[in-house]
Structure 1
Amino acid sequence: MANNGIDYFRINWRVWKQLGAVDLNERKYGSYRFWRALLFNFMVTIVYPVTLLMVMFSFELPLDNLMNFNISITSVATVVKFLMYTRQLNKVLEMEQVFAELDKRVEFVKELEMHKSMTKELRLVSKMFILAYGAAAVNAESSFLFQDKRTLPFPAWFPLDWKNSMLYYLLALF
Structure 2
Amino acid sequence: MSDPFEIPGGETRRVWVFAFDGPLDELDALSPEALAEALGLWSAPKVEAMERFDLSHLEDYGFARYLSEANGMAVGNDAAMLNALTGPVLVVFSQGLAEAERRFDPDAPFRLIGRYGLTTDLTLPEDITSESALGQLPEGKAPMSSARMSGMVATVVLLFLAVFVAAFVWVGR
Q: Is TM more than 0.5 here?
A: no
Q: TM-score w.r.t. structure 1 length?
A: 0.20
Richer in strand (by share): 2
The structure where helix makes up a greater share of residues is: 1
Specify which structure has the bigger relative contact order, considering alpha-carbon pairs within 8 angstroms and separated by 6 or more residues.
Answer: 2
Larger Rg: 2
TM-score (norm 2): 0.20
